[in-house]
């Protein structure tokens, strides 16, 4: 797979899965827009690693949940590299709590970043992608969108919403050869899962036939494939990368 001359925006690329995806594109020669919300030093380090690997990168701060901030992110990408070929909506947050304890703001915040954030980004890239009659949009959902999870009614609703949005926009954008797919990771080793209590981690591990948590590279490989020419007849799909868990 080759991405020389292609421009990709990866949201939430300062760490975790987004960082892994950004580095993977950089290693294949892409121009990578490394979005972050708060961790500027981490984002700059990702850009340095991309450049060391032969790609080009810029770090851009934006809160994807904010409509205008998401627009600025897309504008910066176009200003730096001319157009956007690939959008990876990866930013995500959790605010886990059982229903009886969950506060309204825990619900609103998670929906705003994980679901509305994807919509904001797609809104701002889609006009140009449709006009250029090519584009790849890849949304990062989650295994829990497929099976539910106690204590995550907000997060699971956001990630199931991402799947519905993916399937709907695949139908809207297909005629213009813009594909829209989702990747649903299982349990991947990042800061998001580092905070899990040991008993819960072991319980999840027991449900994974491949008997290990996933690595960010496992997700990056699926994203690269969906972004590549090889996946040009795939749209509206959810690719599960979960060690066989579901």
Sites for ligand NAP among residues 183-212 (CB under 6 A): 185, 187-188, 190-193
Give the number of other CB atoms < 10 A from CB of residue 244: 11
- Decide: is 55 part of the binding site for ligand NAP (CB under 6 A): no
Residue in 55, 92, 161, 243 binding ligand NAP, rule: CB under 6 A? 92
Residue in 37, 126, 179, 235 binding ligand NAP, rule: CB under 6 A? 37
Q: How many helices (H) and strands (E) does the chain have?
A: 10, 7
Pick the catalytic residue: 36, 155, 204, 233?
A: 155
Q: What is the DSSP letter of 115?
A: I
* Catalytic status, residue 36: no
Q: What is the DSSP letter of 116?
A: I
Residue in 91, 153, 179, 181 binding ligand NAP, rule: CB under 6 A? 91
> Residue 71 or residue 176: which is nearer to ligand NAP going by CB?
71
| CA proximity to 182, closest of 128, 151, 145, 218 | 145
> Residue 129 or residue 182: which is nearer to ligand NAP going by CB?
182
Give the Å distances, CA to CA, from 13 to 16, 80, 89.
Answer: 7, 17, 10
Q: What is the DSSP letter of 61?
A: E
> What's the min distance (Å) between Cβ of 21 and ligand NAP?
9
Sites for ligand NAP among residues 167-186 (CB under 6 A): 185
| Strands lying side by side in the sheet with 238-241 | 56-61, 31-36, 7-10, 86-89, 135-140, 178-185, 238-241
> Residue 191 or residue 229: which is nearer to ligand NAP going by CB?
191
Catalytic residues: 155
Contacting positions for ligand NAP (CB under 6 A): 11-12, 14-18, 35-39, 42, 63-65, 90-93, 113, 140, 142, 185, 187-188, 190-193
């Amino acid at each position: 797979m080759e991405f020389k001359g292609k421009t990709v925006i990866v949201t939430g690329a300062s760490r975790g899965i987004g960082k892994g995806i950004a580095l993977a594109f950089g290693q294949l020669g892409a121009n990578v827009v490394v979005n972050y919300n708060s961790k500027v030093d981490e984002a700059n380090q990702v850009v340095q690693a991309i450049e060391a690997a032969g790609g080009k990168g810029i770090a851009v701060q934006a809160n994807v949940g904010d409509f205008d901030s998401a627009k600025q992110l897309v504008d910066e990408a176009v200003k730096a590299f001319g157009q956007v070929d690939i959008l990876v909506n990866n930013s995500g947050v959790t605010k886990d709590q059982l229903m009886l304890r969950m506060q309204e703001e825990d619900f609103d915040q998670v929906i705003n970043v994980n679901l509305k954030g994807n919509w904001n980004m797609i809104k701002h890239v889609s006009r140009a992608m449709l006009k250029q009659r090519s584009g790849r949009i890849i949304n990062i959902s989650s295994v829990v969108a497929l099976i539910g999870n106690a204590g995550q009614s907000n997060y699971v609703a956001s990630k199931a919403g991402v799947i519905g949005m993916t399937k709907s926009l695949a139908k809207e954008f297909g005629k213009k050869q813009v594909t829209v797919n989702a990747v649903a990771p299982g349990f991947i080793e990042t800061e998001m899962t580092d905070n899990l209590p040991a008993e819960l981690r072991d319980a999840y591990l027991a449900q994974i036939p491949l008997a290990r948590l996933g690595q960010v590279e496992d997700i990056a490989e699926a994203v690269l494939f969906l972004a590549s020419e090889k996946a040009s007849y795939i749209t509206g799909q959810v690719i599960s990368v979960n060690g066989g868990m579901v």
